[in-house]
Amino acid sequence: MIREYRIFFVNQPEPLGFGDAVLKTKAFVGNNPFLLYAGDNITLSENNDYIHRLLRVFNDYQADAVILIEEVEHPEHYGVIVGECIEAYSSILRVIDIFENQLNRHQI
């Protein structure tokens, strides 16, 4: 499967959030759909099901972007979304707002 795709590594010297990471990919992807994978995260699912779910939601809802989220004990250490459920799917949310991590931003 990898033969069908191009993989690029883009370094983000300062943690300026996912918006900055997306902007750094523009030279490689232009306006084409792409998958941004943060190097400091590991996502595990049986048979890489999360990728299939991301693609299905992206295509079914003609989304501009699709992200995986996880509820955590101390959300102030991470980026946080405000969302609303779409239709009867309780696990699919339309993102209303995103707040980047504010606590660790200046600790470098």
Residues 10, 21 contacting (CB under 8 angstroms) = yes
Residue whose entry in the numeric block shows the structure tokens 């707002």: 97
C-alpha–C-alpha distance, residues 72 and 66, integer Å? 19
C-alpha–C-alpha distance, residues 50 and 10, integer Å? 22
For 9-25, write each residue's pLDDT tens digit: 888 888 787 788 888 88
Average pLDDT for the chain: 80
Written in H, E and C, the secondary structure of 46-82 is HHHHHHHHHHHHHHHCCCCCCCCCCCCCCHHHCCEEE
For 54-90, write each residue's pLDDT tens digit: 898 999 999 988 888 888 888 877 778 899 998 776 6
